[in-house]
Copies of this chain bind each other. A is one copy, B any other.
Amino acid sequence: MQKPSIPKGTRDFLPQETAKRNYIFNTISDVFKLFGFEQIETPAMENLSTLLGKYGDEGDKLLFKILNSGDYLSEVSDENLHSRNLQRLTGKISEKGLRYDLTVPFARFVAQHRNEISFPFKRYQIQPVWRADRPQKGRYREFFQCDADVVGSDSLLNEVELVQIIDEVYRRFGINVCIKINNRKILNGIAEVIGESDKIIDITVAIDKLDKIGLEKVNEELAFKGISREAVELLQPIILLEGANKEKIATLRHILSKSEIGQKGIDELEFILNKTELLPVRSTVELDLTLARGLNYYTGAIFEVKASDVEMGSISGGGRYDNLTGGFGLPDVSGVGISFGADRIFDVLNQLNLYPKELLSSTMVMVANFGEKEIEYCLPFVSKLRQSGISTELYPEAAKMKKQMAYADSKKIPFVIIAGENEMADHKVTLKNMTTGEQLSIHPEEIVEKIQR
């Protein structure tokens, strides 16, 4: 007999967990819709030609690949087979892979359906993705991403709206957050003025680690990457820049006075911050020059969100990227987007105990079962309860009362209706409030009203 199990890094979601996750997805989804984003879905499987080469060599390795159906060896020559050349063999026996993120399938979607959608196209997407990463605490091989993007519009108003979306989502969750913002053009400007334009990736990757490894190690890494001592020296005041956003911007304007792209980045940043100030945004919005984000495709604003009251990595992130769909034959389409990390939000809401109480119970009323005659007495008002939108269960067997009550307890059902011989004789029912223990003898017609109150 096999012991039932699931692949490592994957999860089952029990009713309570599913209810909590639905609450997260619905909250995010409601806010996306409030800002005019429309939902799309793409298939779990994409052609490997769509996915390969989009996530770097490491990403290619982490793609889950689907074995071709039927005689998958028919196209494989003996020579290919015997050589055990994995890469070549994989190309022959597998042509599909599981979605690795939502961005590449979205780019493919936009290019493929360009004539069916209107630009600017504001879409959101909430679907699972799969990565053959080594599983560890908080890292899964199947997890959900919740992304909203606008493509086909260069306007910085989109960035402003994304800040509002972040603010509104976390306001609804009751999570206080700090929205960190930066701009890739500023980082490019910095690389330019210190004379290391070609090393911008190395510099941003190193700066990104400041919080984790400290200044000294960042400087070591910069030196190790071949950045000159002078340049590292010039970088110091920039990495350690402090104060209010306005002060930082003033200093940056000065330092980057000779970099056109740097000034452009500051302009963009200032626009977003100024417009945000006109709006009822409650979250802290902070310019953070150490924010670089690993992904190399960002070209303008970049965002990251941290929960203020718990220790946790970033719970949302995003930014502006140019030429998203170029690889699919649709060049010069700019986009900007934000992604919410459902798994981390799940943990933050648990830690801060912020889930709404209604999520704890799904059924409002259980009708105890005393046998066939009693059940027939109950059927009409059970229908009425449901017609009134009150979720109601009939305990299916005439089991011992203790067992039935234990079931109601385990499902945290707040009301139990007892209708045995006595109640039937009096044309009444007993309504038990499972929280207070209070019992009321009432007419069946009164149940709906009592419960709705």
**A residues neighboring B (CB under 8 Å):** 1-7, 10-15, 18-19, 21-22, 33-36, 38-47, 49-50, 61-62, 64-67, 69-73, 78, 81-82, 84, 86, 89-90, 93-96, 98, 108-109, 111-113, 116-118, 120, 122-123, 128, 130, 132, 141-142, 150, 153-155, 157-158, 161, 164, 168, 275, 278-280, 327-329, 362-363, 366, 369, 375-376, 379-380, 383, 386, 389-394, 396-397, 406-407, 410-411
Find A15's partner among B46, B84, B123, B329 (CB 8 Å cutoff).
Answer: B123
Inter-subunit contact A12/B379 (CB<8 Å): no
Find A19's partner among B39, B44, B153 (CB 8 Å cutoff).
Answer: B39
Inter-subunit contact A157/B396 (CB<8 Å): yes
Inter-subunit contact A64/B69 (CB<8 Å): yes
Inter-subunit contact A411/B118 (CB<8 Å): yes
Inter-subunit contact A36/B118 (CB<8 Å): no
Known: A62-B69, A67-B93. 8 other contacts (CB 8 A): A6-B112, A13-B40, A36-B366, A64-B66, A64-B67, A66-B67, A168-B386, A280-B383
Q: How far is the CB of A414 from chain B (nearest CB, A)?
A: 13
Inter-subunit contact A45/B7 (CB<8 Å): yes
Inter-subunit contact A15/B35 (CB<8 Å): no
In the complex, what residue of chain B is closest to A95 when comparing beta carbons? B7
Find A120's partner among B65, B67, B396 (CB 8 Å cutoff).
Answer: B396
Going nearest first, the 6 A-B pairs with the smallest beta carbon separation are: A36-B393, A15-B38, A10-B43, A155-B396, A4-B112, A118-B410
A3 to B112, CA, bound (A): 8
A401 to B93, CA, bound (A): 53
